[in-house]
Amino acid sequence: MSRAKSVHHVNIQTTNRERTKEWYEKVFGAEAVERGSRRQLQVHFGTWEIHFSETSNPIHAPLVHFAVEIDDWNEMLAHLDQLGMTYGKTVGPGRAGSFRERMGGDDPRQGRRESDGSHYAYLQDPDLRGWRDGFQAVYVIATGVQTGFFDQLAAHPQGLTAQELAQRTACHVPYVAIWCGSAYRYQLLDAVNGRYVLAPHADSLLAGRAHPDSQAVLFLNAVREAGPRLARQADYMHSGAVGSHAEAYGTNPTRLDPPPNQEALQRRLWQDEMRPCVLALDEALHNGGRVLDVGCGPGLMLLQLAASYPNATFVGVDVVEVGGLETARRLIRERGFDDRIHLECVPAEQMTYAEAFDGVLITRVFHEIPVASRVGLFRACYRALKRPGVLLNLDFAYPDTLAEFREPLFWSGVDNQYREMSWGTVHPTWQEQQQMLTAAGFAAIERHFVRHIPQGTHYLAVANKL
Ligand SMILES: C[S@@+](CC[C@H](N)C(=O)[O-])C[C@H]1O[C@@H](n2cnc3c(N)ncnc32)[C@H](O)[C@@H]1O
């Protein structure tokens, strides 16, 4: 009888091809190969292989695992230690009193088989610790922005020692040395001739940079505002209490005194993303048209539009004064646009404009509008538009299906929903939004994905009053 000789391959599922490839290469030194017309991911281990089937909806079977033989056990453990991997005698911490917990000796990091004395240990892919490390990296970055460490390092391309960096920023030398070590560990810094230099990709973190891709504000907001709120999420889970966006705007430095990159971002949003979808509106604005910005906040979009279209007039509405309309009023006065931009403090769903505007913009506002008022808001926008007129609604892209929760296109929406849940944020799915727009009378509704925003992918709804 012909007998099976050895395993050729096993086929298992993966939801993330790139992460899987990276993990097997890093941990086992295996060779990743992409085969066939469908570019199947295969990982080769000498005489046997693992083939991966990609799916967003894997079958979850308990205790699924496979085992690999290791030539040099101690060397492998040292390698795992060096990678910072967690491994152990059981999968995870091990349930107290379970048979796996009782077997294999006392060392929690590895077990020993009674039958032949060989060692074993369990590894999990992915390793949850990566999330914790990323969390801490956010704080290291924010501290570097706040103290001016990144700016100083950018100003000294030949590099600085921790001591020099501390002197230039009036900071405590031993702490700065610890920060430098951490920033080096996260590859935010490199080292040249014993001095720290900025890693090339850290450029986008430089505080005060006017570039729309500057990410500094994201990290500052994460630690100043989102972090403390996220830490209370467990309380909110119990209470279901709803906090207030408005209060948070009133103390947010970005809303009180917007950094230049925020304006640059609005300019790019209009020029590169919105304008090409609404060329008739662009034409109307050149010829003295009128636009309404719903939830205009500090008015940055209005300022950009007023500068780009000197013949056009604008109205901005919002409900927040401090960190909103107050800032907008000041900036409009400073730029000399008082005669062309009018502001009003009114809940958008209560606006009474009729046939007054060529275009209505709603940017990153809709998720803040109470669910019960949303169709009413779209109706008020429809009424406010001339015929023909166009509505542009830009907001975080939020998934319609469970599978989309794992698609990177929707992660900024999923993350924003979690971060702002205790402010009453409810992100609409695309289908919900489309239904509401239709119910309000809009037609020829299009969806465009907008990717070039540091906060992540948004979708832009373009809806027409024909
Ligand atoms: C995230 S901010 C966006 C501001 C601005 N559109 C932008 O893109 O920078 C959301 C704005 O919507 C405003 N807002 C929330 N609910 C509103 C409502 N019912 N009527 C008018 N504005 C509202 C908030 O006060 C806030 O200024």
* Closest residue by CA, ligand 1 atom 9: 297
Of 126, 154, 171, the last residue of a domain is 126
Domain range enclosing 175: 128-224
- Which amino acid appears at position 448 of this protein? H
Residue pair 396/458 in contact (Cβ under 8 Å)? The answer is yes
- Which amino acid appears at position 340 of this protein? R
Predicted pLDDT of residue 164: 98
* Closest residue by CA, ligand 1 atom 13: 295
Q: How many domains does the chain have?
A: 3
Predicted pLDDT of residue 96: 55
Report angle CA 168, 171, 173 to the nearest 5 degrees. Answer: 95
Give the C-alpha separation, 40 to 412, whole Å. 29
* Closest residue by CA, ligand 1 atom 1: 364
10 Å Cβ neighbour count for 284? 23
pTM comes to 0.76
Sign of the dihedral defined by the CA atoms of residues 396, 397, 402, 407, in that order: negative
Give the C-alpha separation, 466 to 454, whole Å. 34
Is 299 near ligand 1, meaning CB less than 6 Å away? no
* Closest residue by CA, ligand 1 atom 3: 364
Predicted pLDDT of residue 82: 83
Is the same domain home to 102 and 141? Answer: no
Alpha-carbon distances of 258 from 149, 244, 323, 436, rounded to whole Å? 21, 20, 9, 32
Whether residue 336 lies inside any domain: the answer is: yes
Rounded to the nearest angstrom, the distance between the alpha carbon of 385 and the centre of ligand 1 is 19
Of 102, 126, 150, the last residue of a domain is 126
Predicted pLDDT of residue 100: 63
List, in order, residues 6 or more apart from 191 with CB less than 8 Å away: 159, 184, 197
Whether residue 240 lies inside any domain: the answer is: no
pLDDT over 90 for what percent of the chain?
59
Predicted pLDDT of residue 209: 67
> End-to-end distance of the chain based on CA atoms, in angstroms?
77
Give the C-alpha separation, 51 to 43, whole Å. 6
Give the C-alpha separation, 450 to 397, whole Å. 9
Ligand 1 atom at shortest distance from the alpha carbon of 323: 27
* Token output for 95: 């349930």
Rounded to the nearest angstrom, the distance between the alpha carbon of 270 and the centre of ligand 1 is 17
* Token output for 243: 């906090």
Of 97, 126, 155, the last residue of a domain is 126
Among 325, 401, 318, 408, CA closest to 363: 318
Whether residue 337 lies inside any domain: the answer is: yes
Rounded to the nearest angstrom, the distance between the alpha carbon of 318 and the centre of ligand 1 is 6
Ligand 1 atom at shortest distance from the alpha carbon of 362: 6
Task: Give 308-331 as a DSSP string.
Answer: H-TT-EEEEEES-IIIIIHHHHHH
Is the same domain home to 94 and 177? Answer: no
Rounded to the nearest angstrom, the distance between the alpha carbon of 252 and the centre of ligand 1 is 14
Give the C-alpha separation, 333 to 76, whole Å. 67
Is 321 near ligand 1, meaning CB less than 6 Å away? no
Residue pair 396/410 in contact (Cβ under 8 Å)? The answer is no
- Which amino acid appears at position 339 of this protein? D
- Beta partners for residue 33, in sequence order: 42
Is the same domain home to 290 and 189? Answer: no
Give the C-alpha separation, 457 to 412, whole Å. 6
Residue pair 189/179 in contact (Cβ under 8 Å)? The answer is no
Is the same domain home to 158 and 171? Answer: yes
pLDDT tens sequence for the chain (466 residues): 778 788 888 888 888 888 889 889 988 888 999 888 778 899 998 888 999 988 877 777 666 777 888 889 999 988 888 887 778 887 665 555 566 667 788 887 888 888 888 898 888 776 677 788 899 999 999 999 999 999 999 999 999 999 999 999 999 999 999 999 999 999 999 999 999 999 987 877 776 667 777 888 889 889 988 899 899 999 999 998 887 777 777 778 788 888 888 888 899 999 999 999 999 999 999 999 999 999 999 999 999 999 999 999 999 999 999 999 999 999 999 999 999 999 999 999 999 999 999 999 999 999 999 999 999 999 999 999 999 999 999 999 999 999 899 888 999 999 999 999 988 899 999 999 999 999 999 999 999 999 878 888 999 999 999 9
β 111-112/119-120 pair status: antiparallel
